[in-house]
Amino acid sequence: MSTLNLLVLVCMCYVALLFAVAFGADRAAARGRVGWLRAPLVYTLSLSIYCTAWTFYGAVGFAARSGLEFVTIYLGPTLVMIGWWWTLRRLVRVGRSQRITSIADLISSRYGKSNLLAVFVTVLAVIGTTPYIALQLQSVTLSFAAFAETDPEAINLSDMQSTALWVAMGLTVFTVLFGTRNLDANERHHGVVMAIALEAVVKLCALLAVGIFVVWGLAGGIGGTLDRIEASEISQFDVSGSRWVGLTLLSAAAVICLPRMFQVMVVENEDEEHLRTAAWAFPAYLMLMSLFVIPIAAVGLDLMPEGANPDLYVLTLPLMEGRDGLAILSFLGGFSSATSMVIVASIALSTMVSNHVVMPLWLRFSGNAAMMSGDVRKVAIMARRLSIAGVVFLGYLYFHLSGGGTALAAIGLIAFVGVAQFLPALMGGLFWRGATRTGALAGLSAGALVWLYCLFLPSFGPSDMLPQAVFDHGLGGIAWLRPYALFGAVGLDPVIHALMWSMLLNTGGFILGSLLSFPQPLERLQGAQFVNVFDHSGTPGGWTGNMAQSEDLLVMSQRIMGAREAQALFAGAAGRQGVAGYLPEPSPDFLQELERVLSGSVGAATAHAMISQIVGGAAVSVEDLMAVADETAQIMEYSTQLEAKSQELARTARQLRQANEKLTQLSVQKDSFLSQISHELRTPMTSIRAFSEILRDTGDLTPEEQEKYASIIHDETVRLTRLLDDLLDLSVLENGQVEINSQTGLLSDVLDRAERAAGVKDTALQVDRDRASEQITLTSDLDRLAQVFINLIANARKYCDGTPPVLTIRASLREAQVVIDFTDNGSGIPAEKQAVIFEKFSRIGQTTVDGAGLGLAICREIMERLGGSVSYLPGQTGAAFRVSLPRTGQSAAVGSEHEAAQARG
Amino acid sequence: MSTERGPVFLARRSYRHRRLADAARLLPIAAGVLMAVPLLWQGPDGDPGTAPVMIYIFVLWAVLVGLSALVSRHLRAREPETGDHDRGDV
């Protein structure tokens, strides 16, 4: 088999292994076995996406051209990591407490959840990252081509463009599969992180193996290697001070600001304590990665023929010596570096693009944003998938158009300077309360402009956009505006020149803009939150939600988070407030929690906008206003506390009023029931008495007449008995004297039986069922359960006023609970009645339909006896009831508790 | 801003923790200075050689890794910080 074929095979196997690892990690996470996925070492290894193919191949090339200077690219991150106590700790804490999804989200959150800023950061990040992705694709194709050259059998196999296209497509598939599993960016991508960690190990081992081979195999040990370095072109340490310091600072800034680094460092962080391990382990990783770079470069310069590409020494040195195995390992190392960068970068960028560009646009153009129909969740996931494909495709396009020339080699540093523009806004936002949105915008635009003009556009050489005349004489002939000599600063290295001016103007604009502008309340509040994150990691921007409609919020959240999660969240919040059902009081605490959860899905700015649309405007919470105000603090504290108290009082009063209303309603119901029951009892009694008197006193009755009167008496007695049975049933249930006969059967059978018994066949009501989902085996008192179903179906038959009336029955399994929803298309139950429908004797309105109003009360009692519940589900198409019960009766609950205890132990 | 102040003297444990945090803050500054030291070196013919600078940088790097491990081992990220370092400027 030829080397090239072997390489393709090994590569395929390696990709299959990556898929398997990612899949396995995702599965383990889904089953809750996340112990080893959360190891600090995995976190540290995932940080290694800092080392892309630019490091793997490019570092040696860099060293071969300019000696030891390459090491600055790794010294900067080392400084940041060992200085974690300054910045990273704060960054990670803020990221976690604010549920940050990307660097754009962080900056937008800090400056009053401004979407304009988020869009700005996103665009800049895309411009900076696209060439970088192209660089990765180029490195894979180049290394592939290097193999093809040594292989005589390979005839024109390695068409560069098609290799790049295949790699791009494979990466897109992988990223879409494992990067968009879950919408909430705060639920980490375990599969991706695991695969990245594996790739980190592979690239380190590969580079070390090549290094050891070069030092001990080719150069004859450490002494020999040092001699070769002495004899090589790079024997002198002639680095200019400005470049040495400048590049170190630049790479330090980049490691914080690169979208992909932010993704693994902040967004995917599981535990702040992991930073403690990363603080020494990541510098150690970087040190090992750079350890053999100079020896490889020196030996490569010595041994390789003139004109060989130094960027590929890592690969071509083993190939030249005929070490195919080592060369393949080296190829895999480069492949790993390239793929892991593209995967994480495209996830990070797609989160930004979909949250800050696509979703806001979609919300705006689909009309009344928060309230329209349709599932936002599907749109968000689709937006993210398309963004991933778009980002990778852009990278490919850039590679295709630039023809994979040498222009790409310099792009690493250019991208670094681009993302470093986020630094003033980011650091200012974390450490300075006075930083404002205007300042951030001013600084970012100034920095971005200088970067584009002085570094990014000139990197393409003289072109239509930037002709040679501009290079020589400046824009419009003004010598001060020459791209490489801005403001007359001649003789500087272009990267350092652009870095210096862009950062100076950026920081200057940021500070000046902040000093001169006045922040919005929300900005000041978020500022206090961010800067004092260690003092009060609690409440961010507050809502006064007394006007909010909980039901509207539920409808909105269901579409963003999915019905199940939203209902669980609302029910949990309601439970904590001591309210039954699914609709909690829209207290500020609850609204904040909701906003944070939503921002995990759609980004802070969008979540804020959606809630404010329903709640009606943002307000500032009492304590936080306190933190912002300074001079009038005391007075304000007093008055705002009063305000808080009065709000609390108003809430309590409202709850009391509700309780009072309920009691009054109950009393009215009881009265009306008593008169109803008297009436119900009296009517049959009267006719029984009348007809029995006739039978007793009238002598000459025909047998037909006798039989007629007797059967009337009989029918009336039956009616009486049924009424009394119902009452008795209820009182037995209420007193807990009922016996439960456990049986095992299929849910669908129980529903069939209930449907028949409820007499649906002869009426207009259509029952829509999903039989596949009903194939659930239950162990419970099935007769009692059927009784509940009959009641609910009969209610729909009686009360549903849809045309035509349709009852939808849906069953599902949630952990150990069976949940059955009965939803009709009628007008539903008005909110003021929802609280009392499960009470005895309650009937909606004075309808003509017969029944004593005991049905739902009996249902509730039965379900409680069966260990489940029946509740009214608000926010659906019509009246909706949810029956839930444990799948296997009480014994299952005990069993699962036992399991849980074992898992803890 | 806050009217209540912490105690003037701390228990030995919190005292140690604060000094450790100080060390963690100083470490990157010291590292940055040490990394720039080779710029001051002079070789026999102007610039110093790559080999000695390389050895210096990598030894420094290893020492920094060791120190960082030492400091980080005893420093808890989650422990509340009650010093005046993180007070706002308002």
Question: Does the pLDDT of residue A291 top 50, yes or no?
Answer: yes
Q: What pLDDT, on a 0 to 100 scale, did the predictor assign at position A612?
A: 67
Q: What pLDDT, on a 0 to 100 scale, did the predictor assign at position A284?
A: 95
Q: How far is CA A422 from CA A269, A454, A502, B28, in A?
A: 21, 17, 11, 21
Chain A residues within an 8 Å CB radius of B39: 239, 241, 244-245
Q: What distance lies between CA A903 and its chain's CA centroid?
A: 27
Fold topology of A3-420: Sodium/glucose cotransporter (1.20.1730)
Once rounded to an integer, what is the mean pLDDT over residues A837-852? 60
Binned at pLDDT 50, 70 and 90, residue B27 comes out as very high
Binned at pLDDT 50, 70 and 90, residue B62 comes out as very high
Would you call B88 and A280 a contact, using CB atoms and an 8 Å cutoff?
A: no
Please check whether residue A137 is in contact with residue A164, taking contact to mean a CB–CB distance below 8 angstroms: yes
Report the distance separating Cα A329 and Cα A11, nearest Å: 10
Q: Kindly report, residue by residue over A595-609, the tens digit of the pLDDT.
A: 777 777 766 767 776
Would you call A275 and B77 a contact, using CB atoms and an 8 Å cutoff?
A: yes
Q: What pLDDT, on a 0 to 100 scale, did the predictor assign at position A308?
A: 81
Binned at pLDDT 50, 70 and 90, residue B1 comes out as very low
Question: Does the pLDDT of residue A888 top 90, yes or no?
Answer: no
Of B28, B39, B61, the CB nearest to A83: B28
Would you call B76 and A245 a contact, using CB atoms and an 8 Å cutoff?
A: no
Please check whether residue A804 is in contact with residue A766, taking contact to mean a CB–CB distance below 8 angstroms: yes
Chain B residues within an 8 Å CB radius of A229: 50-51, 54
Fold topology of A743-904: Heat Shock Protein 90 (3.30.565)
Greater pLDDT, A707 or A34:
A707
B4 CA to chain A: closest CA distance, Å?
13
Would you call B25 and A83 a contact, using CB atoms and an 8 Å cutoff?
A: yes
Would you call A248 and B66 a contact, using CB atoms and an 8 Å cutoff?
A: no
Q: Kindly report, residue by residue over A792-824, the tens digit of the pLDDT.
A: 888 888 888 878 888 888 888 887 788 888 888
Mean confidence (pLDDT) of chain A: 80
Q: What pLDDT, on a 0 to 100 scale, did the predictor assign at position A900?
A: 41
Question: Does the pLDDT of residue A390 top 70, yes or no?
Answer: yes
Query: Would the CA dihedral through A434, A440, A441, A443 be positive or negative?
Result: positive
Binned at pLDDT 50, 70 and 90, residue A627 comes out as very low
Report the distance separating Cα A246 and Cα A499, nearest Å: 8
Question: Does the pLDDT of residue A548 top 70, yes or no?
Answer: no
Q: What pLDDT, on a 0 to 100 scale, did the predictor assign at position A197?
A: 92
Once rounded to an integer, what is the mean pLDDT over residues A417-435? 92
Flag whether residue A233 sits within 8 Å of chain B, measured between CB atoms. no
Once rounded to an integer, what is the mean pLDDT over residues A213-220? 89
Would you call B77 and A80 a contact, using CB atoms and an 8 Å cutoff?
A: no
| CA dihedral of residues A858, A860, A866, A871 (deg, nearest 10) | 150
Q: What pLDDT, on a 0 to 100 scale, did the predictor assign at position A244?
A: 92
Helix (H) or strand (E) holding A270: none
User: Going by C-beta distance under 8 Å and a sequence separation of 6 or more, which residues neighbour residue A614?
Assistant: A370, A371, A548, A549, A552, A553, A556
Chain A residues within an 8 Å CB radius of B80: 534
Report the distance separating Cα A866 and Cα A25, nearest Å: 38
Once rounded to an integer, what is the mean pLDDT over residues A202-220? 92
Please check whether residue A108 is in contact with residue A356, taking contact to mean a CB–CB distance below 8 angstroms: yes
Of A71, A86, A433, the CB nearest to B88: A433
Binned at pLDDT 50, 70 and 90, residue A113 comes out as confident
pTM as predicted: 0.68
Greater pLDDT, A789 or A901:
A789
Q: What pLDDT, on a 0 to 100 scale, did the predictor assign at position A762?
A: 74
Provide the token pair at A396: 């490919």
Question: Does the pLDDT of residue A340 top 80, yes or no?
Answer: yes
**Side chain identity, residue A689:** R
Beta strand extents in A238-370 (DSSP E only): none
B54 CA to chain A: closest CA distance, Å?
7
Greater pLDDT, A407 or A170:
A170
Q: What pLDDT, on a 0 to 100 scale, did the predictor assign at position A403?
A: 63
Report the distance separating Cα A699 and Cα A686, nearest Å: 21
Report the distance separating Cα A194 and Cα A804, nearest Å: 54
Say how many C-beta atoms besides its own lie within 10 A of residue A194's C-beta: 25
Report the distance separating Cα A591 and Cα A518, nearest Å: 27
Question: Does the pLDDT of residue A619 top 60, yes or no?
Answer: no
Q: What chain B residue is nearest to A245 in terms of C-alpha separation? A: B36
Report the distance separating Cα A254 and Cα A248, nearest Å: 10
A644 CA to chain B: closest CA distance, Å?
20
Binned at pLDDT 50, 70 and 90, residue A310 comes out as confident
Residues 45-84 of A with CB under 8 A from B: 67-68, 71, 75, 78-84
List chain B domain ranges. Answer: 12-74
List chain A domain ranges. Answer: 3-420, 421-533, 550-617, 635-735, 743-904
Binned at pLDDT 50, 70 and 90, residue A324 comes out as confident
What does residue A840 show for φ and ψ, rounded to 5 degrees? Answer: -65, 150
Q: What pLDDT, on a 0 to 100 scale, did the predictor assign at position A283?
A: 95
Using CB atoms within 10 Å of the CB of residue A693, give its burial: 0 to 12 exposed, 13 to 18 middle, 19+ buried: exposed
Would you call B69 and A627 a contact, using CB atoms and an 8 Å cutoff?
A: no
Considering the domain A635-735 in this protein, what is its CATH number? 1.10.287.130
Residues 45-64 of B with CB under 8 A from A: 46-51, 53-54, 57-58, 61-62, 64
Q: What pLDDT, on a 0 to 100 scale, did the predictor assign at position B69?
A: 92
Would you call B32 and A79 a contact, using CB atoms and an 8 Å cutoff?
A: yes
Flag whether residue B19 sits within 8 Å of chain A, measured between CB atoms. no
Q: What ipTM describes this predicted complex?
A: 0.83
**Side chain identity, residue A36:** W
Q: Kindly report, residue by residue over A25-78, the tens digit of the pLDDT.
A: 888 877 776 667 678 888 999 999 998 888 888 889 888 888 888 999 999 999
Binned at pLDDT 50, 70 and 90, residue A512 comes out as very high
Q: What chain A residue is nearest to B87 in terms of C-alpha separation? A: A532
Binned at pLDDT 50, 70 and 90, residue A541 comes out as very low
Once rounded to an integer, what is the mean pLDDT over residues A752-757? 84
Residue with tokens 């808890």: B76
Once rounded to an integer, what is the mean pLDDT over residues A248-275? 90
